[in-house]
Structures are given as structure tokens and as C-alpha cells.
Amino acid sequence: MLIRAKVNGEWREADVWPGSNLLYVLREEMELPGSKNACEQGECGSCSVWLDGELVCSCLVLAAQAQGREVRTVEGLAGTDQLHPVQRAFVEAGAVQCGFCTPGLIVAVTDLLERDPAPSEPVVREALSGNLCRCTGYVKILDAVWLAAERMREGAS
Amino acid sequence: MDVLLAQTLDEALEMKAANPEALPIAGGTDVMVELNFDLRRPEVMIDICRLPELRAWGREDGAFFLGAGMTYARIMRELADLTPLAQASRTVGSPQIRNRGTVGGNLGTGSPAGDALPVLAAYDAEIVLASASRTRTLRWDEFHVGPKKTALEPEELILGARWRSVRGPGSFSKIGTRNAMVISVVGLCLVMDEDARAVRVALGSVGPTVLRASDAEAFVAEALERSGTWDEPAADLAADAMEGFAERVAAAARPIDDVRGSAAYRRHGCSVLARRALGWALASRREGIRT
């Protein structure tokens, strides 16, 4: 089945088995391996992307359902020579250990801060409740959220 | 495998009539897990996530219609005044899951742990089903006939749920191991119907289907009558009535032992949630909040 979707601003095509999920198409057919494949059941959030602007687990989207839609992945965040403020904050706060959960968390944090530039801690914890990290214990991830939020507010003003 | 992309309800119903065995997919939060783990290989799937008829909700003649394609995120944003439904939606999965998962999925999957289902049961909802040739409705307890078993005919799609709007406070509460990404061990919806002077209690995850606690409902309605609380919200319920209510709610459960909890724990959980839910409802009546 030929799938055509606007991925990170560019129309892309892939000819795949119709039962494929969107994550497979991004990683294996479109050379976008940033989104990670871990649980394949929506538990871990490591495959988080935006579908028409909404945060979703790409492993739970049937690729055919992305037909004609806009997909934004973690690869779409950084500029050509500069990291996105959320990516930079993760590096500087030490929020990355093994790194497997990082792309999903970066996407989820960016989704939150684009909607709510100054979230409270309960709001942050709720917004990230669908992203599992087995290394950090989340403390430094929260530090990265505060750092990124501050920088994005400064950048916007 | 073929995936058919339906753009309108009529188109989807024609596709279903031509392919009665086709598996509909909307948010995919249940269906895709089965596909990803090779538990299911349907020959035909019909994508119904874009049908405007399913993504709608509305009020008419004292009734409320909730389209099967309403996601939990939209319910939280757009239907916050339906307190128990919004509260149940808030407990589903994670933000990612709530952005995709739909009430129609809870209905179609038919797990007794579906968080929206006790709310639909407490609302006395009817489930609206359509095929290319007819539309029909079934009461919620006629629709779910066993664990993951529904009365849906092969050529039918679930359009949504409809219920008579209820005046009175209500809540949904749930027991699980954490506050997110949790399949409920016990779920309870309590709705007070001020006009009928009735209390409705529905239980999830403690039986083969969602269950109503009818004895407990009748018991507490009568106790509220005796204490004069229906007319005077400040009048206290008799001391033993709360306990009697909680015991009867627990007795209505038909739980089993499984990986998420023992039958005994689930039954105990029913009585705890029953006490809390009735306490919240009576408190909001005292404070004059009529949700």
C-alpha cells in the first residue's frame, strides 16, 4: 500500500504492507530512526511523534491512517546547526543516560511547552506520564524541563 | 491485508456491508497492540477515524449523544461538565493514548476494565449501532454480553452512546497501581438522579461485564428518603446507612483473581470507592453544587 504523508514539512511516500504501523514506516522506510521502538503497545512513549499536531504513539497508528496527514518527528526539531532548546536542556541537565527514552521525552516535553510555557510540576508529571525512563529516576528530566521552559520563555519574549 | 479508508459514515457502512469480517480501526490503541504482537491478522480493516458523524456530540430533547469517535482528550476538553465521564477519561492511559483512544474503542473491545463503561452504565446509556440497512439501539447491558463479547452484528458499526441527561452530582473513581498508564483493578461510577430520587452505581473490572449494584442503589435511595436528605441536603444520612451501602456495593461485585489483583482485594476496593463516591456526592449537594 502506498502511503503518502507530509513528514517534517516534506511530502514523503512509502510502499508498505498495509498492516504496518507508522513507527515502522518512519524508521525503516523513511530513514527517520529517531523515534524508538520499545514496547509496541503504547506503554513507553519512546515512539512519540505528532500526527496533525497531536502527540501520539506512532506504534499505535496504522500507517494507512497517516495517509495525507502531517507527521512531525524528533528529527524535525533541531535546526541545521543548532539543537532545539529542549534538546539542549536535556544535554546540559544530564537528563540523558542510555538515551533510548530521550527522543520520545523530547517530543513530549516540546509538546507540553508549546502549549503551556510555564507548567506547574504536577502538570509536567502528568504530561510525561506516558514516557518511561529506566535510568534517570526522572529528577534530571524534570530539571531539563525547567531549564527548557525558562529558555523558551526568554526566547519568546 | 487491505485497509479501506472511509471518509463518510455511509461509505464506511457500505464497506462493512461488503466486508462483514472487516475490523474497524479508529484510535488504534487496542487494535494496533493486537496487530503489533501478531495476535490478529484481519484480512480487511476499515479506518473510521475520520468520520465526522462519529466525532460529534450533542444534546437534543433532554438526551445526550456521544459519538463513538470522541477521544478521551476531547471529552476532557469539550465535555468537562459531564463530570463522571470527564473524570473517567482523565484516568485512561497517558496523554498520547487519550489523544487517540475513543469511547467507541472501549465499547467495541468490550473489556470490563474499559474506563468509560461504568459511566455509560450509570447513565443508563443505550448504544447506537448502524448498518447500511438500519440503525438500532441496545441498552448498555444488552450490548456487552460477556468479557470482550458484544451483541454487534458483523455488518454493523458503533455510532455512539445516548442517554437521558441526569441532574445531580456524580463521580468516577478507580483503583490502580499508579496515576497513569494503569488498567483499573476496580472502577466505580456513582450518579445521583435528583429528579427520580435515585442513586446509580456501576462497577468496572470486578465482573465479566460492567455491573450495576441494584440492591445498594435501592438501599441508599430509601435511606436518603428516611433521613430527609433528598429534600434537605444538610440532613445527615443515618450512621449505619453508609456502611450498609458500601457492603451492598461490594456484594454486587463478581470479581476474579488475576495478575492485577485478588478477588478479595477488588471486593474490598468496591466498598472503599462506594463510601468515597457517596461521601463526595452528599458533600457537593450540601455545598449546593449540582453537577
What is the number of other CB atoms lying within 10 angstroms of the CB of residue A51?
20
- Name chain A contacts of B93, Cβ cutoff 8 Å: 42, 130
- Name chain A contacts of B28, Cβ cutoff 8 Å: 60-62, 65
d(CA B15, CA B111): 26
d(CA B59, CA B65): 6
3-state secondary structure of A101: coil
Which cell numbers in the block locate residue A72?
512531525
- Name chain B contacts of A21, Cβ cutoff 8 Å: 32, 35-36
Task: Give A42→chain B minimum CA distance, Å.
Answer: 7
Picking from B25, B49, B93, the nearest residue to A42 by CB comes out as B93
| Beta-carbon-side half-sphere exposure of residue A109 (alpha carbons within 13 Å) | 30
- Name chain A contacts of B181, Cβ cutoff 8 Å: 43, 129-130
Contact B97 A45 (CB under 8 A): no
Please name the amino acid found at residue B195. D
Which cell numbers in the block locate residue A26?
518512519
Contact B96 A56 (CB under 8 A): yes
Interval A122-152: pLDDT, tens = 999 999 999 999 999 999 999 999 999 999 9
Interval B190-223: pLDDT, tens = 999 999 999 999 999 999 999 999 999 999 999 9
Instruction: Report the mean per-residue pLDDT for chain B.
Output: 96
* Mutation for B interface: A1, A57, A106, A131, most B CBs within 10 A: A57
Per-residue model confidence (pLDDT) at position B179: 86
What is the number of other CB atoms lying within 10 angstroms of the CB of residue A30?
21
Residues B24, B68 contacting (CB under 8 angstroms): no
Picking from B28, B99, B179, the nearest residue to A65 by CB comes out as B28
DSSP code of residue A145: H
d(CA A102, CA A44): 11
- Comparing alpha-carbon positions, the chain A residue that sits nearest to B4 is A64
A157 pLDDT exceeds 80? no
DSSP letter for each residue of B224-236? HHHTTTTT-TTSP
d(CA A105, CA B14): 41
The residues near B164 (Cβ < 8 Å, ≥ 6 apart) are B62, B63, B64, B123, B124
- Comparing alpha-carbon positions, the chain A residue that sits nearest to B27 is A61
B112 pLDDT exceeds 50? yes
B290 pLDDT exceeds 60? no
As a whole number, mean pLDDT of residues B84-99 equals 98
A82 interface with B at CB cutoff 8 Å:
no
d(CA B282, CA B277): 9
Q: Which domains, ranges and CATH numbers included, belong to chain B?
A: 2-164 (3.30.465.10), 170-290 (3.30.390.50)
Chain B interface, Cβ < 8 Å to A: 1-3, 5, 25, 27-29, 31-33, 35-37, 41, 45, 47, 49, 73, 93-97, 99-100, 179-181
> Residue ranges of the alpha helices (H) in B123-213?
140-143
Which cell numbers in the block locate residue B149?
463479547
pLDDT band at B288 (very low <50, low <70, confident <90, very high): confident
As a whole number, mean pLDDT of residues A93-119 equals 98
Instruction: Report the mean per-residue pLDDT for chain A.
Output: 97
Contact A19 B94 (CB under 8 A): no
d(CA B244, CA B219): 8
Q: Phi first, then psi: give them for residue B67, nearest 5 degrees.
A: -65, 145
Interval B123-139: pLDDT, tens = 999 999 999 999 999 99
| Beta-carbon-side half-sphere exposure of residue B224 (alpha carbons within 13 Å) | 25
Residues B137, B173 contacting (CB under 8 angstroms): no
Per-residue model confidence (pLDDT) at position B291: 47
- Comparing alpha-carbon positions, the chain A residue that sits nearest to B37 is A40
A40 interface with B at CB cutoff 8 Å:
yes
B289 pLDDT exceeds 60? no
What is the number of other CB atoms lying within 10 angstroms of the CB of residue B287?
10
Please name the amino acid found at residue B34. E
* Mutation for A interface: B19, B32, B48, most A CBs within 10 A: B32
DSSP code of residue A69: -
Interval B243-276: pLDDT, tens = 999 999 999 999 999 999 999 999 999 999 999 9
Interval A30-63: pLDDT, tens = 999 999 999 999 999 999 999 999 999 999 999 9
> What's this model's pTM, rounded to 2 decimal places?
0.96
Percent of chain B with pLDDT over 90: 96
Residues B245, B278 contacting (CB under 8 angstroms): yes
Please name the amino acid found at residue A103. P
Per-residue model confidence (pLDDT) at position B76: 98
